[in-house]
Structure 1
Amino acid sequence: MRTGNALRLAQVDSHARKAGLSAGMTLADARARCPTLATLPCDPAAERQALDHLARAMLRFTPVVTPDPPDGLILDVTGCAHLFGGEDALARRVLAATRATTRHAFAGNAMAARALARHGADGNRGDIHALPVNALDLPDDALTALRRAGLRTIGDLARRPQAGLAARFGESAVMRLRQLLGETASPVAPRLPPVPVRAEARFAEPLIRTDDALEVIEDLLRQAARQMEQRHAGGRRFAVTLERSDGARRRLAIDTGNPVRDPATVLRLMRERIDTLADPLDPGFGFDAILLDVPRVEPLAPRQDALEGGRAAADDTLDALIDRLSVRLGADRVTRLHPADTHIPEAAQRLRPAIENTVSAPVSTWPLASGRDVALRPLTLFDPPQPVAVIAGVPDGPPQRFRWRRKVHEVRLAEGPERIAPEWWRRQDGHLGKLGGLTRDYYRIEDSEGRRYWMFRHGLFDEKSDPRWFLHGLFA
């Protein structure tokens, strides 16, 4: 991480600590002590995401889990440890689940356990009084004042009158001390998992008509819509389970491109799904129960209706069409182009299901136009690029004449080259295809008839003795 003009270590592993490195040390000093030091840039957002992921994973051991940024978790295991064979067995299970180098401690309250884990020995259950005053997590100036007064451990503070400590070092120091000693509460605000959006209906007499079941599904959708409206959210996936009286179950699921909570919209898609079933929906002896689950929920802000009567916007109409076609034909048959993280022209876009939204599946954005009148890349690309025979004035120069589709073209203007290097880190997986692995020199060509082409020489002369030419695209 960068602090001022200096790069400092944000975290170090056990091997770095054994080499004398610590968090907060400048990178220059760290490399002077350990020339073979391997570093990675600090990514606070990714670290917060990883910490949230670990917090959700810890819910299997206790329902009370709260993150302790930047790199800690607090678990209240009161009444839970015996389910795993005791505290030691629980600790081993937790450490095995994290798959990382961690430190842990047990104590009677959250702040004491946190202090023992961060400033004591690993797995310590012991004496809070032996911890250094750093365990109070006070500002640096307050810690410096405590050390200058000869107070170096928690025990040194505990033996002093608290009134005098508060007058000299502030109320916060006394409050932290009392929390560590268990004299005052240190509540933990657990991160509770979101309550699932569900609705169900059970019947004394089975439903024997599919239309009656659809009416019940519509009512369940209204119940789910009210739940999502309270959360300012919408559903991206709706799953219906129909339980028959003979024990059989039929499951129907639909996905939407954007979060929705309108029951009529979801019911229309559900009818589309029923109509496309290869095995018709057979009530048999009737449905005993119908369950609706919305497993995929995303934020959906309230929208203002239009003044001219609430006509749907063009984007909404297109989204509804994509949803209907995806349900009717299959999500993999209705696709759209998404940008890919590569500079190889023919691989710069991928076909992905159109129903996938960038909110749930982030992708890189398309490059912005440069603002020039002349387009640098053509709209029409050949896949694969078509080979051409070229005559050039010099070996590594632009073409002066080329033959394409049995016709000779005289070059009037040529601009370039635009050099595109191969992606050497992807050569092993075959991602670049047959034309990957060599440097390309692209030229924008205009022939004597005014037609414009995008051509490249595949390979430099030090890479290949006889590099070939290819026509990759046509300008409008």
Structure 2
Amino acid sequence: MTTANSVTRIFLALWLPYLSTERLIRDGAAPADKPFALVERHANAMRIAQVGEEAARLGLNTGTTLADARALLPQLVVQDDDPEEDIALLAWLADACDRYTPMVAINVRDGLTLDLTGCGPSEQIAADVLTRIAKLGLTARDGLGSTPEMAMARARYGIASVAALPVSALGIPASDQLALQRAGLKTVGAVAARPRGALAARFGAGLIDRLLRLTGEQDSRITPRRVPPTIFATRRFAEPVARIEDILTSLRDLIIETCDELARRGEGARSLRATLFRSDNDVRSLAVETGRPVRDPKAIAKLFDERIDALSDPLDPGFGYDVIRLDVEAAEPLASASPDLIGTCESCEPADALVDRLSTRLTPKRVSRLGPANTHIPEQAQLALPAVEERQPANFPAAELGEPPLRPLHLFDPPEQVKVTAAEIPDGPPAQFNWRRKPYRIVRSEGPERIAAEWWMRKGGELPGKGGLTRDYYRVEDVRGRRFWLFRHGLYSEKASPSWYIHGLLA
């Protein structure tokens, strides 16, 4: 079991200098034996945005105009730059790096940073990452450090000694770099040897901050692309495992291990994710959610079984999975439950367990519950929400003992228009109405319950009546004892001839 707490931090930075061009070469969309570059339009001119390894070796640099680049390298092959595709590939690589740690950050479009604190020998992990990236046809350089800035600088410049790094590693503007170099300060070590006060006075506090982070004197962290799990358990195999039965057995072991940690913390899981890392860097992720905190291994295992059975694309082990990780992405307090005299658990809720299983099999969007909405318009007072979301009690109008309910349980959607043929007074309830070609004579009525339009939520509505018409609701009963919920849409001061509607049937 691994937790996020640590004392000494170690970061691994990966720099992929030719990611953009090698992506196209790897996919067969660009030649591998000719100088290659990507271009973009900048200031009404086509300029080199990314340079391939061969073109860089021949002296081509980014920012050069396409005309000058062709003059330097007549055989240069170019294509349009596509940053989104680069970021997508980098995200896929970040998913594959989750096998080492859940703390992975993407650096713009050409690098990754991994927080390897507590994750094992960093040198061995770095060597394994480079081997896997090389098999993908990509070039990568690595660097280790106690801060992300130190690790990335070592990766970009290929220099282990921080003091020997050039001042450009500080990430300061070009004008400040030139000023430092003119003053004879060409390396980070030379800058670090100067009085900090004088440097801050000349170049600002930002230079000192970058210097302290680069040298490791100031603590610095990464911002992972995903929220780190509260609890995670990992199983690594010496050899890739290709039998699905063995994979599921290992997953159940991780579930038991995770539930033990949840019990120790007095919590239950609300959201879990199992991630399976294949030896060819393919990653499969299985997520389950629960409607209440759960730490019963059998119940959680059953949810994952439902999730796997519902997959349209079955798990394909390929050459085998070599790492499995189970993350608890959300957890809540869960008190210990004790069985009653007949051995049943008081906290067990079969209905909730059924909802969890159905939501896992059919996806959460297809299993809904009704929840209260922040409105007093009857047909908008409830929302269909995923059943596995946190449950909140609905505040339905309560009727006094012995009285009928104030509102029907079922509403017509939309309300059906009726024709009122008689009324005692214009502003009062109807005495008779026609609905679905049948007449109904009213003998009793209750109301009105007046509901104004939500003019404050409508664009341009600043005064009552500007955002819609007022409704007057009545509960009425006909000569045969049938009860209806009717409303007049609009006051006579708002509309010359208000319409009547039936919104529901009362018991």
**TM-score, scaled to structure 2:** 0.52
Distance 1:274 1:443 in 2: 52
Match for residue 250 of structure 2 among 212, 216, 241: 216
* Partner SS, residue 454 of structure 1: strand
Do the aligned partners of 1:341 and 1:364 also contact (CA within 8 Å) in 2? Answer: no
1:177-256 aligned at under 5 Å gives the runs 196-256=230-290
Could you say which residue in structure 2 is the equivalent of 1:395? 426
- Shift of residue 236 of structure 1? 0.7
Distance 2:379 2:243 in 1: 53
* Partner SS, residue 357 of structure 1: coil
Offset from partner CA, 1:225-275 (integer Å, 9 cap, x none):
121111100111111111111111111111111111111111111111111
Distance 2:460 2:316 in 1: 47
Distance 2:373 2:488 in 1: 24
Which amino acid is the alignment partner of residue 307 of structure 2?
R
Do the aligned partners of 2:337 and 2:345 also contact (CA within 8 Å) in 1? Answer: no
Structure 2 residue 304 is matched with structure 1 residue 270? yes
- Structure 1 runs of 4+ aligned residues shifted over 6 Å read none
Match for residue 449 of structure 2 among 401, 410, 418: 418
Which amino acid is the alignment partner of residue 230 of structure 1?
R
Which amino acid is the alignment partner of residue 421 of structure 1?
A
Which amino acid is the alignment partner of residue 378 of structure 2?
P
- Shift of residue 367 of structure 1? 3.8
Could you say which residue in structure 1 is the equivalent of 2:475? 444
* Partner SS, residue 306 of structure 1: coil
- Shift of residue 444 of structure 1? 1.3
* Partner SS, residue 305 of structure 2: helix
Which amino acid is the alignment partner of residue 293 of structure 1?
D
Do the aligned partners of 2:397 and 2:406 also contact (CA within 8 Å) in 1? Answer: no
Count of residues in Structure 1 that have an aligned counterpart in Structure 2? 282
- Shift of residue 426 of structure 1? 2.1
Which amino acid is the alignment partner of residue 291 of structure 2?
G
Which amino acid is the alignment partner of residue 259 of structure 1?
P
Distance 2:428 2:506 in 1: 21
- Shift of residue 311 of structure 1? 5.2
Distance 2:443 2:245 in 1: 70
Which amino acid is the alignment partner of residue 360 of structure 2?
V
Offset from partner CA, 1:317-374 (integer Å, 9 cap, x none):
111100111111111111111111211111111111111123xxx5753344443523
- Shift of residue 306 of structure 1? 1.8
Offset from partner CA, 1:102-143 (integer Å, 9 cap, x none):
xxxxxxxxxxxxxxxxxxxxx9xxxxxxxxxxxxxxxxxxxx
Match for residue 382 of structure 1 among 407, 412, 430: 412
Could you say which residue in structure 2 is the equivalent of 1:469? 500
* Partner SS, residue 349 of structure 2: helix
Distance 1:283 1:216 in 2: 14
Relative distance call for 1:423 and 1:195 in structure 2 (3 A) is closer
- Shift of residue 312 of structure 1? 6.7
Structure 2 residue 404 is matched with structure 1 residue 371? no
Do the aligned partners of 2:371 and 2:383 also contact (CA within 8 Å) in 1? Answer: yes
Do the aligned partners of 2:338 and 2:345 also contact (CA within 8 Å) in 1? Answer: no
Distance 1:302 1:369 in 2: 37
Could you say which residue in structure 2 is the equivalent of 1:286? 320
Q: Which runs of 5+ in 1 are unaligned?
A: 1-78, 90-122, 124-192, 431-435
Which amino acid is the alignment partner of residue 370 of structure 2?
L
* Partner SS, residue 227 of structure 1: helix
Do the aligned partners of 2:229 and 2:327 also contact (CA within 8 Å) in 1? Answer: no
Distance 2:460 2:394 in 1: 21
Distance 1:310 1:411 in 2: 53
* Partner SS, residue 260 of structure 2: helix
Relative distance call for 1:429 and 1:377 in structure 2 (3 A) is farther
Q: Which runs of 5+ in 2 are unaligned?
A: 1-145, 151-166, 173-204, 206-226, 462-466
Match for residue 428 of structure 1 among 443, 459, 466: 459
Which amino acid is the alignment partner of residue 368 of structure 2?
T
Could you say which residue in structure 2 is the equivalent of 1:336? 369
1:61-100 aligned at under 5 Å gives the runs none
Offset from partner CA, 1:260-308 (integer Å, 9 cap, x none):
1111111111111111111110111111111111111111110111221
Could you say which residue in structure 2 is the equivalent of 1:65? none
Match for residue 327 of structure 1 among 360, 383, 393: 360
Structure 2 residue 390 is matched with structure 1 residue 357? yes
Distance 2:251 2:305 in 1: 11
Q: What is the root-mean-square deviation of aligned Cα atoms in Å?
A: 2.7
Distance 1:195 1:203 in 2: 22
Do the aligned partners of 2:455 and 2:468 also contact (CA within 8 Å) in 1? Answer: yes
Could you say which residue in structure 1 is the equivalent of 2:341? 307
- Shift of residue 310 of structure 1? 2.6
Distance 1:368 1:375 in 2: 7
1:20-59 aligned at under 5 Å gives the runs none
Do the aligned partners of 1:340 and 1:363 also contact (CA within 8 Å) in 2? Answer: no
Distance 1:195 1:295 in 2: 5
Do the aligned partners of 2:275 and 2:285 also contact (CA within 8 Å) in 1? Answer: yes
Distance 1:257 1:429 in 2: 40
Which amino acid is the alignment partner of residue 385 of structure 2?
R
* Partner SS, residue 401 of structure 1: strand
Structure 2 residue 380 is matched with structure 1 residue 347? yes
Offset from partner CA, 1:437-471 (integer Å, 9 cap, x none):
21111111111122111111100011111110001
Identity of aligned residues (%): 51
Distance 1:370 1:340 in 2: 24
**Which has the higher relative contact order, 1 or 2, with Cα contacts under 8 A spaced 6 or more apart?**
2
Could you say which residue in structure 2 is the equivalent of 1:70? none
